[in-house]
Amino acid sequence: MPRPIARVLTLLELLQLGGIRTVTELADRLGVDERTVRRYVNHLLDLDVPVESVRGRHGGYRLAPGYRMPPLMLSDDEALAVLLGLLAGRRAGLMTATGAASETAAAKIRRVLPERLRLTLDAVLGSLAFTTPPGETAVPDSTVLLPIADAVNHHRPISIRYTAADGRRSERTLHPHGLVAHSGRWYVTAADLTSGQDRTFRLDRITGVRALPGSFEPPAGLDPAERVLTGFATAPYQHEVTLRIQGTPEHIRTRLPAGVAIVEELTCPHGADPQTERWFRVELRVNRLDWLPAVLASLDRPFVIERPDELRGLVEALAERLTESARRSPPHE
C-alpha cells in the first residue's frame, strides 16, 4: 500500500478514537507536516468521510457524531497481523471448539482484500513454516468460554457441570478468578465452594455454565497463570526430583520451564560471590527419569543431585557413554 494512502487510513483510525485531534498532534503521529495533514483530511472528505473542522485555541479535526469506519479498511501490516494471528491461534489451540470459525473468519477477510494484497498475503502464508508441529489441543466451546470470561471480569459466581479425568461427573459452584491458555488447553482457576478449595478446571471438560446471583471479591495479588504452572509442577508423579543448579533462573528455565519445575534461589554461602556463584534449588515431579540426564548435560552448569539416587546412576551412565564415544576412533576406510 503506498505510504500516502496508508497515512490517510491511519489518520482515519486516529479520528475514529474520538474527540478533537489538533493538527499538531496529527502531524506528529503521522510523521508529516501540518500542511500534509490538511491535504489528507481533504482526501477523507473526497471519500465522503464526515471530518469536521473545529476552530479555536483547542480546535482541530474530529469525526461527525455517529460515524463508524467501514469494515476491513486494513493496511498491509494490519491484514498480515490479523491473518497470522488467526493461523497462530489455531495452531496453539487458542480457538474455540467451533473449529471452523478461524478458517471462515480468515476467508471473509481474504475475500474483501484487494487482489494485490490478497496474493501477497497468500504468498507469505504459503511459504510460512513452523519449527514445531502443532501439539494436541483441547479447545473449549464458546458457550463455556464466554460466560466464564464474563464471570471472571465481573466477579460473579457460576455453577458448572464438570467431568473429571476419571470420568466422574459433578456440579460445582465456583468463584472464578482467571482464564489461562497453556499448551493447547484452556483452564479456569477458581475458589471451588463445593469442596472449599482453590482449584483449576479444564474448560474442555465443562459441559454447562450457569451464572448465579451476587458477586465476590477476588483475592489480592492473585496470579492465575502462576497458579496453573505451579499446579503442574507440584502434581503427584512417580518420581520426586530435587536438584541444586548453579546459574541463573533464565538459563535454567530454558531447559526446565515453569510448568515442569519450581526454581528457588538458595542463600549465598558466606564469602561467595553472589554474581558468579548463585545456586538454585530445583524441584520437579516426573513419571520417567531417563530424559533428565541429557537435560542436565545441556544446561552445562554445575549441579548436585539431592534425590533420587536412581538419577545419579542414569547421569553416570550417560557420562560413560559420552566418554566412550568421544574416545572412539573413526573406522579406517
Q: What is the pTM of this model?
A: 0.49
CA 145 to chain centre: 16
In this prediction, residue 125 carries a pLDDT of: 64
Architecture of the CATH domain 142-221: Roll (2.30)
In this prediction, residue 146 carries a pLDDT of: 81
In this prediction, residue 317 carries a pLDDT of: 93
Q: What are phi and psi of 112, to 5 degrees?
A: -100, 0
Average pLDDT over residues 100-112: 69
Residue 279 CA to residue 293 CA, distance in Å, equals 19
Residue 216 has pLDDT above 90, yes or no: yes
In this prediction, residue 132 carries a pLDDT of: 47
Residue 315 CA to residue 299 CA, distance in Å, equals 13
For 3-63, CATH gives 1.10.10.10
Q: Which residue's entry shows cell 543448579? A: 245
Quick: pLDDT tens for 173-208: 999 998 887 766 788 999 999 888 888 898 888 988
Identical topology for domains 3-63 and 234-326: no
Long-range contacts from 285-288, C-beta under 8 angstroms, 24+ separation: 285/233, 285/234, 285/235, 285/236, 285/237, 285/239, 285/240, 285/241, 286/237, 286/238, 286/239, 286/241, 287/237, 287/238, 287/239, 288/238, 288/239
Q: Where are the alpha helices (DSSP H) in 56-208?
A: 76-92, 100-112, 115-127, 142-154
Range in 52-66, 93-107, 166-180, 317-331 with the lowest mean pLDDT: 93-107
In angstroms, what CA-CA distances link 130 with 91, 92, 136, 137, 255? 10, 11, 15, 16, 20
Quick: pLDDT tens for 282-322: 998 888 899 999 999 999 999 999 999 999 999 999 999 99
Residue 201 CA to residue 163 CA, distance in Å, equals 10
In this prediction, residue 330 carries a pLDDT of: 83
Residues linked to residue 173 through DSSP beta bridges, in sequence order: 159
Average pLDDT over residues 76-100: 65
Architecture of the CATH domain 234-326: 2-Layer Sandwich (3.30)
Going from N- to C-terminal start, the domains of the chain cover 3-63, 76-127, 142-221, 234-326
